[in-house]
């Protein structure tokens, strides 16, 4: 039989989390963000759970084609726009919308010779202070005027991205500065708006008007403002469970060490479980005292994570045998939950990185 590690995708949880986004923004169109292969879950695996969304948002044309091949006929938004003039041929063929965030893209669009007088739905990106993508205020209004006159543009949606919707920014509420810049800049310009990401959906939906919301990390069972709020606070459910098993048990004495570098030294007699999971599976090597579930009971890792294995403390868990279920994050077979955010915190990262980091040698299983 193969190694016992597997990543389990919970379709019911994906559907539930999409519904949470809808409930938070009932007047908005909800786009499911499936960039980075649906945050490591697999576009093909999550599609059935997300096909009730109003649209999909992603990064590149190859991902967009995969969504079309699944039968999706609705809107698809390229969040970073297109990267060459030739990309517009594919955008036309596959009926893709896209962001516009630099002047080169505007020039390519103006020069494009569309077949059958095709027109595009454009999302014009504003740089409101994150200083990543988009036009600053004065340039933004000029670009809007150019696009408004273009024969290849059907509609223009005003778009921005919050850098601090998950907390405060320089002593103020995180959305205040950017939202003020955005509202001032678009004054007098017609068009719908797309401004809310997961953190804005959950924390600020009553204060913001966003015709299109881009629900990303919240769909995948991670809290966008952890540790201020947990997934339980937002009524989100884990969508990916990384599960394995105990493959060996060691009894160790005081002053015995565990793992490479002897980084863990026992201060008492202990029972140590060895788990078939390591950094070659996508588990963070720098994790330290990371929480895990063994037979749905919470314990922690000890010592360094190896390429193929890691060690957990079984001392206070009764009746653990070879083959006992280990949940590295997600949900156990009996329903106990260990949020990916807690595990990520132990290695100084975020849940996004863990779910995107599962390697190809880990098999996936889909649960309805």
In-domain check, residue 226: no
pLDDT value of position 117: 84
* Cα distance between residue 289 and residue 336, in whole Å: 19
State pLDDT tens for residues 118-137. Answer: 999 999 999 999 999 999 99
Alpha-carbon dihedral sign for residues 296, 300, 305, 306:
negative
Task: Check: CB of residue 156 under 8 Å from CB of residue 124.
Answer: yes
Task: Check: CB of residue 232 under 8 Å from CB of residue 367.
Answer: no
203 and 334 co-located in one domain: no
Q: Is 260 a catalytic residue?
A: yes
pLDDT value of position 1: 77
In-domain check, residue 75: yes
Residue tagged active-site, from 35, 125, 237, 331: 35
With a cut of 90, say whether residue 10 has pLDDT above it: yes
**pLDDT band at residue 169 using 50, 70 and 90 as cut-offs:** confident
pLDDT value of position 298: 98
258 and 199 co-located in one domain: no
Alpha-carbon dihedral sign for residues 64, 68, 69, 70:
positive
- Tokens standing for 7? 């990543």
List residues bridging with 275 in a β-sheet.
246, 310
List residues bridging with 150 in a β-sheet.
none
pLDDT value of position 101: 98
Which secondary-structure segment (H or E) carries 77?
A: strand 76-78
Q: Report the mean per-residue pLDDT for the chain.
A: 96
Of 165, 192, 220, which marks where a domain is finished?
A: 220
With a cut of 80, say whether residue 116 has pLDDT above it: no
The mean per-residue pLDDT over the stretch 330-355 comes to 96
- Tokens standing for 72? 């999706």
Q: Is 35 a catalytic residue?
A: yes
With a cut of 90, say whether residue 156 has pLDDT above it: yes
pLDDT value of position 184: 97
At 353, which CATH number? Answer: 2.40.37.10
122 and 208 co-located in one domain: yes
Q: Give the DSSP letter of residue 211.
A: S
pLDDT value of position 113: 83
DSSP 52-74: TSSEEEES-HHHHHHHHHTT--S
With a cut of 90, say whether residue 32 has pLDDT above it: yes
At 192, which CATH number? Answer: 3.20.20.10
Of 220, 255, 271, which marks where a domain is finished?
A: 220
265 and 196 co-located in one domain: no
Q: Is 135 helix (H, G, I), strand (E, B) or coil?
A: strand
With a cut of 90, say whether residue 174 has pLDDT above it: no
pLDDT value of position 271: 98
pTM of the predicted structure, to 2 decimals: 0.95
In-domain check, residue 232: no
58 and 87 co-located in one domain: yes
Q: How far is CA 105 from the centre of its chain?
A: 26
Of 220, 248, 272, which marks where a domain is finished?
A: 220
pLDDT value of position 330: 98
Q: How far apart are the first and last CA of the chain?
A: 24
The mean per-residue pLDDT over the stretch 343-366 comes to 96
- Tokens standing for 223? 């809290």
State pLDDT tens for residues 213-245. Answer: 999 999 999 999 999 999 999 999 999 999 999
Residue tagged active-site, from 154, 207, 260, 365: 260
For residue 5, give Cα distances in angstroms to 118, 239, 249, 282, 359.
48, 17, 17, 11, 11
With a cut of 90, say whether residue 368 has pLDDT above it: no
- By CB neighbour count within 10 A (0-12 exposed, 13-18 middle, 19+ buried), where does 335 fall? exposed
Torsion of CA 83, 89, 92, 93, to 10 degrees: -120
pLDDT value of position 275: 98
Query: Of 146, 119, 124, whose CA–CA distance to 136 is shortest?
Result: 124
* Cα distance between residue 352 and residue 344, in whole Å: 9
State pLDDT tens for residues 278-330. Answer: 999 999 999 889 999 999 999 999 999 999 999 999 999 999 999 999 999 99
State pLDDT tens for residues 178-211. Answer: 999 999 999 999 999 999 999 999 999 999 999 9
pLDDT value of position 172: 84
Q: Give the DSSP letter of residue 321.
A: -
User: What is the C-alpha radius of gyration for the chain, rounded to an integer number of angstroms?
Assistant: 23
**pLDDT band at residue 105 using 50, 70 and 90 as cut-offs:** very high
Task: Check: CB of residue 55 under 8 Å from CB of residue 232.
Answer: no
117 and 61 co-located in one domain: yes
- 81: containing domain: 11-220
Task: Please tell me the total count of domains within the chain.
Answer: 2
């Amino acid at each position: 039989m193969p190694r016992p590690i597997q990543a389990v995708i919970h379709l019911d949880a994906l559907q539930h989390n999409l519904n949470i986004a809808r409930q938070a923004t009932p007047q908005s169109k909800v786009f499911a963000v499936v960039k980075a292969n649906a945050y490591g879950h697999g576009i093909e695996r999550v599609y059935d759970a997300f096909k009730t969304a109003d649209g999909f948002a992603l990064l590149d044309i190859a991902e967009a084609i995969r969504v079309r091949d699944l039968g999706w006929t609705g809107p698809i938004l390229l969040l970073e726009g297109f990267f060459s003039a030739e990309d517009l041929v594919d955008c036309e063929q596959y009926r893709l919308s896209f962001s516009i965030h630099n002047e080169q893209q505007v020039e390519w669009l103006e020069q494009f010779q569309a077949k059958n007088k095709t027109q595009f739905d454009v999302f014009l990106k504003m740089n409101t202070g994150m200083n990543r993508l988009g036009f600053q205020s004065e340039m933004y209004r000029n670009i809007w005027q150019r696009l408004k006159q273009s024969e290849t543009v059907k509609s223009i949606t005003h778009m921005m991205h919050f850098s601090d919707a998950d907390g405060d920014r320089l002593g103020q509420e995180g959305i205040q500065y950017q939202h003020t810049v955005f509202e001032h800049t678009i004054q007098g310009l017609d068009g719908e708006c797309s401004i809310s990401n997961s953190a804005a959906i959950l924390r600020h939906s009553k204060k913001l008007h966003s015709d299109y919301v881009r629900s990303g990390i919240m769909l995948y069972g991670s809290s966008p403002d952890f540790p201020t709020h947990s997934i339980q606070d937002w009524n989100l459910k884990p969508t990916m469970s990384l599960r394995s098993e105990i493959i060996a048990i060691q009894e160790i004495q005081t002053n015995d060490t565990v793992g490479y570098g002897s980084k863990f030294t026992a201060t008492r007699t202990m029972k140590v479980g060895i788990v078939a999971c390591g950094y070659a599976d996508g588990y963070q090597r720098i994790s330290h005292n990371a929480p895990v579930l063994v037979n749905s009971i919470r314990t922690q890792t000890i010592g360094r994570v190896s390429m193929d294995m890691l060690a957990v403390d079984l001392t206070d868990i009764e009746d653990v045998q070879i083959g006992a279920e280990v949940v590295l994050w997600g949900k156990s077979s009996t329903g106990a939950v260990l949020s990916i955010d807690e595990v990520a915190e132990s290695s100084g990262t975020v849940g996004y990185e863990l779910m995107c980091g599962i390697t190809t040698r880990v098999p996936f299983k889909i649960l309805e």
